[in-house]
Amino acid sequence: MTVRRRIGLSLRVDPVACDAYGYCAELFPERVTVDEWGYPIVDGTPVEPELADLAARAVADCPRRALRLYEVVVDG
């Protein structure tokens, strides 16, 4: 029997919704940088628990609601 284990949260951007306000990169530079046109480049590696509040703040403050946190789940 496999056990599904939650290993953390991962940040993703919906590129259709995103309008390059850039708040996310200011609020959460640990995972978000911007390209030369101002659009976010999101590092999708799991967010450490100590950074979870920052990630949640970046998600909540996006004017376009384009940023989302997903649970990363693995078998084992």
Using CB under 8 A, list all residues that contact another protein. Answer: 12, 14-20, 35-39, 41, 70
Question: How far apart are the C-alpha atoms of 4 and 34, rounded to whole Å?
Answer: 34
Query: Token digits for 32?
Result: 């978000």
Q: How far is the CB of 15 from another protein (least distance, A)?
A: 4
Query: Token digits for 3?
Result: 């056990």
Q: Could you write out the DSSP letters of every residue in 47-64?
A: BPGGGHHHHHHHHHH-TT
Q: How far is the CB of 68 from another protein (least distance, A)?
A: 8
Q: Residue 13 or residue 58: which is nearer to another protein going by CB?
A: 13
Q: How far is the CB of 16 from another protein (least distance, A)?
A: 5
